Amino acid sequence: MARAPSIPGWETWAQPVSAARPPASTSPEDPRVADPPFPKDGQGAPTRHVAPRSIGQALGPDPSARAVVVRAFLGSRLIVLFAGVLAVLEIGQAAGQATNFDPEGLTRPFGYFGNLLAAPFARWDSAWYLGIASGGYHSVQPTAFYPLYPLMLRGIGIVIGSDLIAGVLVSLVAFIVALALLYRLARLELDSPRAEATVMLIAFCPMAYFFSAIYTESLYLALSLGCLLCARSGRWFWAGLLGGLAALSRNSGVVLVVPVVLMFLYGPRTDAAPSPRRSGLRALVPRYPLRGALLWAALIPLGLVAYLAYLGIDMHDAFAPFHAQVYWARHFTLFGGVWQGAVAAWDGVRQLLHGPAPPVYFTQAGGDPLNVAGQNLLEFVALLIGIVALVGTFRRLPFVYGAYVFFSLAMPLSDPDSAQPLASLPRYEVVLFPLFMWAASVLYRRNLVAIAIGVGAVLLGLFTADFATWRFVA
């Protein structure tokens, strides 16, 4: 039988999954063979993975993965819940933050106990989504928050009587669906042990508290994974539809058109065999024939167009989401966030070494200079990790995944915040699942998966505590 467990040091988590595997293989992709090669073009994939006959098969999780998905979900969400509640009880909320950022009390609509339980789920941007769900778009500023998620909150909230509870349910359900889809896609590109490691790493990563919160992270992760998994198996209508919904959920969703088109032309795909590889400039020639099914990719930008058309009719400003960026002091400069973030991080190091003001080395932000310094430094570290992981993604995974990550990161890095150049970058990175697939392959080979998950779980608890007590993290 295949070895158990598949994730080093996590016997109690992975045992049922490992035990359900078929007898060990002696193929070159067997994880017991040192540093197995990873497929770069999908050639040969049809011999191991038959194209699904229905959309349910395309999106459904491998039965052997259910245990690890459920355990990753339950374990990480319990950390978020307990860390958030205990932080509010022991530390208390940051003075004035709730009133300043949520004057209408949308994130605290219940009594004491209900609001305590809601603390890890409804903070900061949650107030914007809840406000849109209850009142729609009445000014330019909230149009920066795309409509699919608040629409779901409103629809379910009408039925159950609470938009806040509806938001938590949407996020949690979307997250467990996303974990199942992530396992399935990672299993296609890597192997079972590394697919399990990928699921664990994203569930316990330090910023994973956003997957429970009233934010779009879990919904977008599920839609983007579903989009690329359908494209991987040649379900182009469903790939376009899910990508279009992703474009309705956040501004970066339109980027999914890039990997879908690349996958159609160059793979990897399980629905057809590619033409032989070419060298030099001939490598740019598509490996799959152009067909009308490629037009379904147009559904992805159509999601954004539909939102802009609605705003043009309702608010007479079709470009309101772009105009709204001024309220967050954002400005376009191609990849300017990299340099500006480096400057802010360097000033942060100087401030932390010096101590409390005066002087203030980074004057653009205001507020507590030490707190600002810590945030800028954390976000720059996230940028460095993201760059390393992006390079690794290009090297170890099919090109399409690196292209998706590159264009997804290009958007926030080209639209920096003057007061905090890399604001929210760790949150933008947490949904870029190819980064976690690369990390899983590297950490598994070095037998460091358990350590990485443990460190991530500790940081997840700490950052959740900050989030729940209205202390801004990233």
Domain membership flag for residue 346 = no
246 within 8 A of 256, measured Cβ to Cβ: yes
Domain membership flag for residue 373 = no
Domain membership flag for residue 87 = yes
Domain membership flag for residue 264 = yes
175 within 8 A of 215, measured Cβ to Cβ: no
| Banded model confidence at residue 235, pLDDT cuts 50, 70, 90 | very high
Domain membership flag for residue 117 = yes
> Does 279 or 399 have the greater pLDDT score?
399
CA–CA gap between residue 55 and residue 181 (Å, rounded): 12
CA–CA gap between residue 413 and residue 341 (Å, rounded): 9
Domain membership flag for residue 374 = no
253 within 8 A of 304, measured Cβ to Cβ: yes
Whether 437 has a pLDDT exceeding 80, the answer reads yes
What is the total count of domains within the chain? 1
222 within 8 A of 281, measured Cβ to Cβ: no
- Alpha helices (H) along 91-162: 97-101, 112-118, 126-135, 148-160
CA 323 to chain centre: 25
**Tell me, what's the pLDDT at 26?**
36
Which of 408-423 are b and which e, b meaning 16 or more Cβ less than 10 Å from the residue's Cβ? bbeebbbbbbebbbbb
Specify the DSSP class assigned to residue 225. Answer: H
| Banded model confidence at residue 474, pLDDT cuts 50, 70, 90 | confident
CA–CA gap between residue 325 and residue 423 (Å, rounded): 13
pLDDT digits (tens, 9 = 90+) for 381-404: 999 999 999 999 999 999 999 999
Whether 24 has a pLDDT exceeding 80, the answer reads no
Average of per-residue pLDDT values in the chain: 88
Which of 29-57 are b and which e, b meaning 16 or more Cβ less than 10 Å from the residue's Cβ? eebeeeebebbebbbebbeeeebbeebee
Interval 87-91 mean pLDDT: 95
**Tell me, what's the pLDDT at 281?**
83
**Tell me, what's the pLDDT at 63?**
64
| Banded model confidence at residue 59, pLDDT cuts 50, 70, 90 | very low
> Nearest 5°: phi and psi at 43?
-65, 125
**Tell me, what's the pLDDT at 60?**
52
Which of 286-317 are b and which e, b meaning 16 or more Cβ less than 10 Å from the residue's Cβ? ebbeeeeebebbebbbbbbeebbeebeeeeee
- Domain enclosing residue 314, as ranges: 61-275+292-323+436-468
Domain membership flag for residue 214 = yes
Domain membership flag for residue 17 = no
